[in-house]
Structure 1
Amino acid sequence: MTSTKMTIHVQSMGGLLQDQTLLLGERAARSHKIPSGGTVSLQYGASKHQVKVVSASHLDGLRIGESFARKLGLHHGAQVSVRYKASSKTLVIGPLIGVMMSRVYSGSPDRPFGSNTAFCKELVDTCQTHGAFVYFFTVEDIPSSQQQIEGWTYYGRWRKSGFPIPDVVYNRLTTRKLENNPSVQHFMKEVKSRYGTTVFNEKYLDKTDVFDALKQDASLVRYLPESHLFKNFQMLKSMAARHSVVFLKPITGSLGKGIIRISRNGGQSYSCQTTSLNGTLRQTFPNIEAVFSSISSKLKQRRYQIQQGLHLIETGGRPVDFRALVQRNNMGVWGVTSVVARIAGSNHFVSNLARGGTLSRVKEALSKTNLTAVQQRNASANLRKAALDIAKGIETQVKGHFGELGVDLAVDSNGKVWLLEVNSKPSKNDGTPLAEGAIRPSVKQTVLYARYLAGF
């Protein structure tokens, strides 16, 4: 079913347009075979209203009265898409996209979403370009029963108003605590079952679940370093005996927090490195028992994944890994939007930007390593293939709906590609400078996928 992008014209209270009447451009009415003068059902998100449609030869767009526009949360100049279901006499406008955010900074009217405000504005601009409408809401904005959500959108400035339950919810909650809030879980379940809303990136992934799931696919095993949910000292001892380096990673961790690196020195001694805000704390122990004794209190506080350490390629003595952003497109098909290299900061063994890491182009980073020219070319191609394979594996093996994934990959000194972890909430503020009005391909892809999900 085809759709047409249209501009919303809001007529002031002094106009002659009745509340439940829509004025539609004659050309659009004719192309979609929308009967003029008749009553149809208007659907916008979960809201439905009986309206009278009148076609107008002079109009290029859709004109509605001010009070009705306010009821729908639409503003003058908004761009939406329109399609008509003749079988049910339903005029559908949208798609309406709701983005669930962690918090609003009420004291910052120009930056209500803090460092994520620029990303939110980028989504607004992209929706305007592609005929969609987006608003943003927090856990506190979730309604207890009614069909309206108090949310934020941008036109001239950031404004808050009421909106219908959206066609699509994009989950951008950035903490597991918020995501596991009973009201959030109830909301996601309710909008899916009652209103047919699609929710994507609906949950965080933890490291154990990801590795255990991907092990079920024989074609993906080649990307997986040995990895287990940490249970006891015996597991540490046996892993340290098999691998010269092992990592202990909090299974629900992010930003490189709490990672422990244990490496075997000559003889029986071991080095143990832990991440901290000031860099890396390094200690040496005479044996693996002493290492365990030193870190056992940490291991009791949260669950860890123990993982085979890899001999990563380096540039300037600093480890390099790679972040691939894999997204579904306007047909719902996975594709690689971007791959960037991440170079660890000085005095760090992890590459996260929050730990002083820096971004680089893949080709440039690979050229500064000890890999041969052939290995560099192969690694570049294999990074994209691995990211795509792993995203498809997540889709098949892990319960949940994901529209984008940050896939962290490594290349070892032999040029082999390995999976480090998968992130279902990839960061949106990487500090990349954007020209005024520029739209990142990743943001465009998000909107196109939401349009697809809503049937536009």
Structure 2
Amino acid sequence: MSSKKVSVQIMNPGLLEEDCLVLGEALVKRWRIPTNYPLQLTFGSFKQKVRVLSLSKYTGLRLSQGLARKMGIVSKPTLHLSYQSGSGLRLGPLIGVLISRDDPDLPDKPFGSITMFCREMVHAGQKQGAYVYFFTPSHIGSSSSKVNGWIYGEGWHQAEMPAADVFYNRLTSRKLENKPSVQHFMKEVKSRYGSHFFNEKFLDKTEVFDALKADPSLLKYLPESHLFRNFAMLKGMCSRYPVVFLKPTRGSLGKGIIRISRNPEGSYQTLATQVGGTRRQNYENLTKLFASLSGKMKTTRYQIQQGLNLIDLSGRPVDFRALVQKNGTGAWEITSIVARTAGTHHFVSNLARGGTLSTVKEAMAKTHFPADIKAKAAVRLKKAALDLADGIDQHIHAHFGELGIDLAMDTSGRIWLIEVNSKPSKNDNTPLAMGKIRPSVRRMLDYASYLSSS
């Protein structure tokens, strides 16, 4: 299949018949495209018969305004054009990004804190020859072939868009993701149009740890971890470890985590995350502690996990967040890895709870490890993240293109998995120069382009 990037020009009404498009004469001859002959044009799920007209000394693609409107194309995008004898012409890839909410009354920032990320995706698509639109669950209608999405061209606009070649799920709510309309749409576009849908679901902690336990090569990264069921499990874990954690299986941002530790005299203490710090409580014995938890267990499922003796900086725990993404060949790569240090009065490192960021090198420099362990830390953390991402692919039946993998290092230098997040944050918390595109956004477009051609 022949392919190249072309600049798309939309013609004013009356200058070009709706079912015609114009290509440069040199390209028509090189690809041996028949002219004035019905060919199929494909753009996502959109298909229409068109006739190709050739124009000397021209290198772009001209569309009639009517045809462009049917395709949802505005402005002057740069898109990949491909041709295959027998199949016709194809424009794209067309990429749809499913987001949680929009606000049409805020035209400059319709997607709130992720608006800048959405603009970046549009600009990255323009540079890489892809067309990107955004939609929410409320935009999904009765037909899976069309979506009333948001596009960018001299400002944000809503337009009726075809189903995309590739969909990227950025929903931040399990409730929205589990809506019957969303689940039906995902199933329909995959089966009807061969669309790819990645990061198609949230992960919960029990699912991740139970799946990875099945791989002997990954056990070295896994603290003992179980779905918390009863008093016997609490008693057993507290007898084996001086500290254990209870974590909501579907929690995020460090919410609802409970740290349980045994005091020297045999009583127990809990620290629970809450706004502004932690709540400390003491219990004479495990029976009373378990009784205090029984109410929470009726509404929240917890994972009980081995506590680790982690490295810290001045008493503040440190962990590491690796952003792992698939690249233009479909392989996992490390896009970034940072150290996160817990805020004062917190035992979790999430930025939402006062945590701070630094490089791995900066964080390791403040530890008491020998020089060789400090020097190898970043490489070892990256290997662990890639091993675990491969494990997720092999043992969890869902399609992921990016993962946030939280790792920790104990005082002996051993690396452990804390959790895996299938919806890493895209909030606007890093100022960027106008037009600058982060590596994470470029890689996302690379992977989407790879999927559309596979």
- TM bin, normalised by shorter chain, reads over 0.9
2-side partners of 1:414 and 1:265: how far apart?
23
Q: 1:115 to 1:183 in 2, by over 3 A?
A: same
1:50 aligns with 2:49: yes
Question: For residue 333 of structure 2, what is the aligned residue in structure 1?
Answer: 335
Matched position secondary structure for 1:273? strand
Instruction: Assess, with a 3 A threshold, how the Cα gap between structure 1 residues 220 and 146 changes in structure 2: closer, same or farther.
Output: closer
Q: What CA distance in whole angstroms lies between the structure 2 residues aligned with 1:30 and 1:403?
A: 38
Q: 1:60 maps to what in 2?
A: 59
Partner AA of 1:421 in structure 2: E
1:206 aligns to what?
Answer: 204
Aligned-pair CA distance for 1:296: 2.3
Distance 1:116 1:157, change over 3 A: same
How far 1:58 sits from its partner (Å)?
2.8
- Paired residue type of 1:188: M
Counterpart residue type for residue 287 of structure 2? E
Counterpart-to-counterpart distance in 2, 1:340 and 1:449: 23
Alignment partner, residue 262 of structure 2: 264
Q: How does 1:398-437 map to 2 (within 5 A)?
A: 398-429=396-427, 431-437=429-435
Structure 1's 76 and 58: CA in aligned 2 closer, same or farther, altered over 3 A? farther
TM-score, normalization by structure 1: 0.97
| TM-aligned CA deviation for residue 3 of structure 1 | 1.8
Name 2:151's counterpart in structure 1: 153
Which amino acid in the other structure matches residue 132 of structure 1? A
CA distance in 1 between partners of 2:181 and 2:322 (Å) = 32
The number of equivalent residue pairs is: 454
- For 1:109-149, what per-residue CA distance to the aligned partner results, in whole angstroms no more than 9, with x for missing partners? 11111000000000000000000000000101112126211
Return 34-43 or 322-331, whichever deviates more: 34-43
Tell me the distance in 1 between the aligned counterparts of 2:372 and 2:243: 27
- What SS does the corresponding residue of 1:389 show, helix, strand or coil? helix
Q: Residue 114 of structure 2 contacts residue 428 of structure 2 at CA under 8 Å; is this kept in 1?
A: no
Q: How far 1:106 moved relative to its partner?
A: 2.3
Kindly provide the amino acid, as one letter, of the partner of residue 341 in structure 2: I
Counterpart residue number, 1:13: 13
- 2:184 equivalent to 1:182: no
Contact between 1:268 and 1:287, CA under 8 Å: does it hold in 2?
yes
**2:4 corresponding residue in structure 1:** 4
Q: Is structure 2 residue 296 aligned with structure 1 residue 298?
A: yes
1:432 CA displacement:
2.1
> AA paired with 2:308?
L
The letter of the residue matching 1:184 is V
Change (3 A) 1:319 1:188: same
SS of residue matched to 2:245: strand
Pick from 295, 305, 308 the counterpart of residue 307 of structure 1: 305
Cα-to-partner distance string for 1:333-371 (whole Å, 9 max, x where unaligned): 111111111111111111111111111111101111222
Summarize the Cα distance change of 1:2–1:364 in structure 2 as closer, same or farther, 3 Å threshold: farther
Indicate if the aligned counterparts of 2:145 and 2:189 stay in contact, CA closer than 8 A: no
Structure 1: which amino acid aligns with 2:297? L
Output the CA distance in 2 between the equivalents of 1:343 and 1:279.
15
- What secondary structure does 2:256 align onto? coil
Q: What's the CA shift for 1:2?
A: 4.1
Asked if structure 1 preserves the Cα contact closer than 8 Å seen for 2:144 and 2:185, the reply is no
Partner secondary structure for residue 38 of structure 1: coil
Distance (Å, rounded) in 2 between the aligned partners of 1:146 and 1:383: 42
Q: Write the mapping of 1:5-404 to structure 2, written as runs, cut at 5 A.
A: 5-15=5-15, 17-86=16-85, 88-145=86-143, 147-404=145-402
Tell me, in whole angstroms, the C-alpha distance in 1 between the residues paired with 2:27 and 2:262.
Answer: 71
The answer to whether the 8 A contact 1:104-1:112 is kept is yes
Q: Secondary structure of 2:390's partner?
A: helix
TM-superposed deviation, 1:416 = 0.6
Q: Given the superposition, is the C-alpha separation of residues 407 and 84 from structure 1 closer, same or farther in structure 2, using an over 3 Å criterion?
A: same
TM-score, normalisation: structure 2: 0.98
Inter-partner Cα distance in structure 2 for 1:250 and 1:31: 60
TM-superposed deviation, 1:265: 1.9
CA distance in 2, matches of 1:76, 1:32: 27
Contact 2:406–2:418, Cα closer than 8 Å, also in 1: yes
Q: Does the 8 Å contact 2:115/2:428 carry over to 1?
A: no
1:27-48 residue CA offsets vs partner (Å, 9 max, x unmatched): 3323333223322100100111
C-alpha contact (below 8 Å) 2:325/2:403 kept by paired residues: yes
C-alpha distance in structure 1 between counterparts of 2:286 and 2:433, whole Å: 52
Deviation string 1:68-109 (CA, Å, 9 cap, x unpaired) is 1111001131111011111x2410100000000101022211
C-alpha contact (below 8 Å) 2:312/2:318 kept by paired residues: yes
- Between the aligned partners of 1:31 and 1:283, the Cα distance in structure 2 is 76
Q: Is the CA contact 1:313–1:370 (under 8 Å) kept in the aligned structure 2?
A: no
* Alpha-carbon distance in structure 2 between the residues aligned to 1:378 and 1:291: 41
- The code of the aligned residue for 1:18 comes to E
Between the aligned partners of 1:430 and 1:75, the Cα distance in structure 2 is: 26
Give, in whole Å, the separation in 2 of the partners of 1:224 and 1:269: 28
User: Structure 2 CA distance, aligned partners of 1:34 and 1:353?
Assistant: 55
Q: Distance in 2 between matches of 1:30 and 1:389?
A: 48
Conserved 8 A contact 1:246-1:307: yes
Letter of the 1:299 partner, please give it. Answer: M
Q: Which runs of 4+ in 1 moved over 6 A?
A: none
Please list every run of 5 or more consecutive structure 2 residues that lacks an aligned counterpart in the other structure: none
Contact 1:379 1:411 in 2 (8 A): no
CA distance in 1 between partners of 2:66 and 2:274 (Å): 55
Stretches of structure 1 lacking an aligned partner (at least 5 in a row): none
For residues 439 and 2 of structure 1, the distance between their equivalents in structure 2, rounded to whole angstroms, comes to: 28
Identity percentage over the alignment? Answer: 55
RMSD over aligned CA atoms reads 1.2
